[in-house]
Amino acid sequence: MKTKRFFLPESQIPTQWYNLMADMKNKPLPMLNPATKEPIKAEDLYPIFAEEVSKQEVNMTDTWIDIPEEVREKYKIYRSTPLVRAYELEKALDTPAHIYFKNESVSPVGSHKLNTALAQAYYCKQEGLTNITTETGAGQWGTALAFAAKTFGLELAVYMVKVSYRQKPYRRSLMQTWGAEVIASPSMSTKAGRKIITDNPTYQGSLGTAISEAIELAMQTPNCKYTLGSVLNHVALHQSVIGLEAEKQMEMAGEYPDIIIGCFGGGSNFAGISFPFMRHKILDGKNTRFIAAEPASCPKLTRGVFQYDLGDEAGYTPLIPMFTLGHAFAPANIHAGGLRYHGAGSIVSQLLKDDLMEAMDIPQLESFEAGVLFARTEGIVPAPESSHAIASAIREAKKAKEEGVQKTILFNLSGHGLVDMTAYDSYFDGDLRNYELSAEEIAKTTSNLEQIIK
């Protein structure tokens, strides 16, 4: 009998996260203070983020960072996650490729977001904080932080983009079940929110606005800080637990991936599956291909520019060196809400610039077609975000067939779609479409950015 799923014993759950920045030859450019244009230091971030993650954010020297024992204990609720050989998908594609996926959807919140939520909540608790805030768009990050906050005894307020608050009631309900307060954004509870509501009472919200509200509330609340679920370096650090496990599990399977794929929004799940393997590309000359699968409607990596840009619309964040479509870019309303972000984190942006990785854009309909095929073969209904990685893996598996070569493909299944079934309904009803972006549209939101790297 062929083995389908590979698990690690609990004793082999990683004890350290891997910090790719320490091994990169070209380091990511530093974040800058928008006013002074000076590089950001850890202390500059303390007013907003927990001190420990602020230090991690700018740490370019320590390759390995200890996972606190208390966080590792919580990881045991769902880790190790299985590495799965997708035999049924291979059969359906009639491909010589071997397809593996790392199944992060088994976490109780349904996605990989819990890996960093637990770490961030733990550090906030350690620092003596009592409250934390965040924003959520599609809702995966907010649900993860809701459980993490509860398990470490923190009160959490989540600003949820208003349109998601209405369209994804199950996500809101999950956060409340874990004890979080959920506020539809824009709201009357912050200055930023009040201004927007006053100017435009029917505005349905955006991630940028929700970030502004969450930061503002954190700054004005005693013993309270803000947390973010993607883009930043410390988030990528925490997510490295995915790839570190996968490395050992691929060894159990007796293979090494030729191609590694993650879907791409801010970069957290892509970083998680990739960076530990990227280490071997940088240090040992491994010839692995890394593919970030982004939506064609939000193509920052394939069509954006590499520039310093803001992380949010309102301009509360530092300037980040990123491949970006501009912080004013308004992505089409695709169902993969977690991928609707204008920019990529600084590490990934540097890797892409240095040709250490590549990017692929996937039209919405192709992503759903891939998701449905995956559900009907491997049984798991994927999150619309994760379906982009599946679509990319399918493209590569078909290419392997055409070329008659046996490739080993590994992708990250970042989450399941059980609370996103309205998206599948729309797909089956024929209500979804692809979105084509013209060069002019992209120029509109990128041309006014200060271009620092040509």
Q: Which is nearer to a copy of itself, 284 or 429 (CB)?
A: 429
145-176 per-residue burial string, b: 16 or more CB within 10 A, e: under 16:
bbbbbbbbebbbbbbbbbbbbebbeebbebbe
176 binds a copy of itself, rule: CB under 8 A: yes
Stretch that binds a copy of itself, among 33-41, 176-184, 268-276, 334-342 (CB under 8 A): 176-184
235 binds a copy of itself, rule: CB under 8 A: no
Closest separation in Å from C-beta 436 to a copy of itself: 27
What x-and-dash track marks residues 135-174 binding a copy of itself by CB under 8 A?
------------x--xx-----------------xx--xx
**Residue 447 CA: distances (Å) to CA of 275, 397, 451:** 31, 37, 8
How many residues make contact with a copy of itself (CB under 8 A)? 43
10 binds a copy of itself, rule: CB under 8 A: yes
88 binds a copy of itself, rule: CB under 8 A: yes
24 binds a copy of itself, rule: CB under 8 A: no
130 binds a copy of itself, rule: CB under 8 A: no
Closest separation in Å from C-beta 95 to a copy of itself: 19
3 binds a copy of itself, rule: CB under 8 A: yes
Tell me if 374 sits within 8 A of 237, measured CB to CB: no
Q: Which is nearer to a copy of itself, 329 or 374 (CB)?
A: 374
Closest separation in Å from C-beta 412 to a copy of itself: 17
Give the C-alpha separation, 266 to 348, whole Å: 9
Q: Rule CB under 8 A: choose which of 310, 419, 442, 449 binds a copy of itself.
A: 419
Beta bridge partners of 290: 260
Closest by Cα among 3, 1, 48, 36 to 249: 3
Closest separation in Å from C-beta 50 to a copy of itself: 22
Closest by Cα among 293, 261, 296, 263 to 359: 293
**Interaction with a copy of itself in 41-80: which residues (CB under 8 A)?**
72-73, 76-78
Q: Which is nearer to a copy of itself, 431 or 450 (CB)?
A: 431
Q: Give Cβ neighbours of residue 399 (< 8 Å, ≥ 6 apart).
A: none
Q: Which is nearer to a copy of itself, 26 or 176 (CB)?
A: 176
Give the C-alpha separation, 278 to 290, whole Å: 8
Q: Which is nearer to a copy of itself, 182 or 214 (CB)?
A: 182
110 binds a copy of itself, rule: CB under 8 A: yes
Handedness of CA 338, 339, 340, 343 (dihedral sign): positive
380-410 per-residue burial string, b: 16 or more CB within 10 A, e: under 16:
bbbbbbbbbbbbbbbbbbeebeeeeeebbbb
Give the C-alpha separation, 301 to 294, whole Å: 8
Q: Rule CB under 8 A: choose which of 47, 108, 315, 405 binds a copy of itself.
A: 108
282 binds a copy of itself, rule: CB under 8 A: no
Stretch that binds a copy of itself, among 217-225, 378-386, 400-408, 434-442 (CB under 8 A): 378-386
Give the C-alpha separation, 267 to 269, whole Å: 6
Q: Rule CB under 8 A: choose which of 336, 424, 445, 446 binds a copy of itself.
A: 424
What x-and-dash track marks residues 179-198 binding a copy of itself by CB under 8 A?
x-------------------
Q: Which is nearer to a copy of itself, 175 or 320 (CB)?
A: 175
Q: Which is nearer to a copy of itself, 110 or 318 (CB)?
A: 110
375 binds a copy of itself, rule: CB under 8 A: yes
Q: Which is nearer to a copy of itself, 283 or 421 (CB)?
A: 421
Give the C-alpha separation, 50 to 238, whole Å: 14
Q: Which is nearer to a copy of itself, 77 or 453 (CB)?
A: 77
Q: Which is nearer to a copy of itself, 139 or 299 (CB)?
A: 139
Stretch that binds a copy of itself, among 18-26, 224-232, 256-264, 379-387 (CB under 8 A): 379-387
Q: Which is nearer to a copy of itself, 106 or 437 (CB)?
A: 106
Residues that bind a copy of itself (CB under 8 A): 1, 3-5, 7, 10-11, 72-73, 76-78, 88, 106, 108-110, 147, 150-151, 169-170, 173-174, 176-179, 372, 375-381, 418-419, 421-422, 424-425, 428
